[in-house]
Structure 1
Amino acid sequence: MVVMPQLVEITSFHEPVPPEGQSPYLPGAGPLQGVEIAEWNDKWAGQFQFLATQIRNGLGWRALAIEHVGSTSVQELPAKPIIDIDLVVADPNEEQLYVPSLEKVGFHLVVREPWWYGHRVLRHSNPACNLHVFGYDSPELIKHRIFRDWLRAHPNERRVYAEAKRIAAAQATAADEHTMQYNARKESVIKEIYHRAFTAMGLVKN
């Protein structure tokens, strides 16, 4: 039986706390320090295509879907110059089926969260990339596409988000914070944008 995300999972926001004594970051890894927000660059689309080809060549049919998400996927939106990609595999917990192949094309595993839809993150340095690995049943995949497509279609929302990003980056840089703290600073604006998108799509009611 195929298990699909429930509506409440798609329209709610929570990341479970790691089990006691566990960290999502592998030894030697951690959130990136420093926050750089760059103006939109059309080379980002080409970087995604390069990385997607590397992933597809490495995994073949085990890569069920490869999506460009995050701010670099939205034209005219300033972003950290790091390509965000969602990769769907049959079971993220079966790391031996995809991690070694991705390592051969320059990725390395930095995050392991089996308690959160099997989420893994692998990083690539040139071009810079955060590769998010989920199973096909993760609501995060739907969330990410909704956010991307809503911003692509609504210039006013892009302007709201761009301003929030610039303010959060300036505050995080002044406080010498890492990227997770920067993300927390813009979280309220992200949720407001999501709510407008969910409402317009009929997923929630005002």
Structure 2
Amino acid sequence: MLKINVVEYDPQWLTHFSQISSELDYALSNFLPREAYDIQHVGSTSVPGLAAKPIIDIDIIVPDSLIMEATQALTSHGYTYAYERGGIDRMVFRYNLHKLDSGGSTPTEDGSPRRAVYLNKSDGAALANHLAFRDVLRRDEGMRDEYGELKMALAKEEHADIGAYGAKKQAFIIRALHQSGLPEEKIDRIMARPTRRVDAKILQDLKRNQS
């Protein structure tokens, strides 16, 4: 069973994001033109005043045509691609210096904050979900506080895995998305968990290299 570590908001999370973002910018700029990508702070640590797991969530946004180059940039600078079982149009990268801890409940090996890095298509549903949810919580203090209380309550429970924890937040997330201003067709696409397309070429190349 998984325990989730939710803590009160820490202003240092913004500093941590800035430091990690600088590292990622250096890695990506060796493979892509700087104007071709964007790095966004997402997730609960990106919302001032919101209780969160102490994990810095980061979205890297690139055009479809540069997914391979961005993947090479990350894997050559300390990250490993981590396949997600559920179909979704993004790729997840884990930081090699930190052991996996989805609940954020143990200290890291080097003392730096945990991070989750997502590689996104610019028109991806996963990206739209992250940005819309972040922005509605940033501008609506009532929803922010309600979400923080929900997470604090869930942190007192044990969960089968991180997916089970996320499922218990789903009703709130859907309500927030409907208040975000996203078109209904975009929300429907997010909820449908679109079939993975981002990493199809990567997986093909991996199989080719292994054969």
TM-score by length of 2: 0.69
The 3 A distance-change label for structure 1 pair 114 and 57 is farther
Alignment-derived partner of residue 92 in structure 2? 121
Alignment-derived partner of residue 99 in structure 1? 71
Q: What code does the residue aligned with 2:88 have?
A: W
Check the 8 A contact 1:68/1:84 in 2, yes or no: yes
Alignment-derived partner of residue 82 in structure 2? 110
Alignment-derived partner of residue 164 in structure 1? 150
| Cα distance between partner residues in 1 of 2:175 and 2:40 | 23
Alignment-derived partner of residue 47 in structure 1? 16
| Cα distance between partner residues in 2 of 1:121 and 1:140 | 11
SS at match of 1:197: coil
Q: What code does the residue aligned with 2:46 have?
A: S
**Which 10-residue stretch deviates more, 154-163 or 98-107?**
98-107
Q: Does residue 147 in structure 1 map to residue 133 in structure 2?
A: yes
| Cα distance between partner residues in 2 of 1:123 and 1:187 | 24
- Structure 1 residue runs of 5 or longer lacking an equivalent are 1-31
TM-score by length of 1: 0.71
Q: Does residue 78 in structure 1 map to residue 61 in structure 2?
A: no
Deviation digits for residues 86-142 of structure 1, max 9, x if unmatched? 1112238843x223322343222112579533x110022343111111111213323
Q: Does residue 90 in structure 1 map to residue 59 in structure 2?
A: no
| Cα distance between partner residues in 2 of 1:137 and 1:113 | 21
| Cα distance between partner residues in 2 of 1:64 and 1:165 | 32
Check the 8 A contact 2:55/2:116 in 1, yes or no: yes
Q: For the aligned residues, what is the CA RMSD?
A: 2.5
**2:121 equivalent among 135, 144, 147:** 135
| Cα distance between partner residues in 1 of 2:37 and 2:58 | 13
Paired residues, number: 165
Check the 8 A contact 1:37/1:166 in 2, yes or no: yes
| Cα distance between partner residues in 2 of 1:92 and 1:164 | 39
The 3 A distance-change label for structure 1 pair 132 and 113 is farther
Q: What code does the residue aligned with 1:183 have?
A: G
| Cα distance between partner residues in 2 of 1:136 and 1:142 | 9
Q: What code does the residue aligned with 1:131 have?
A: V
| Cα distance between partner residues in 1 of 2:67 and 2:140 | 38
* Percent of paired sites with the same residue: 29
| Cα distance between partner residues in 1 of 2:10 and 2:113 | 13
SS at match of 2:25: helix
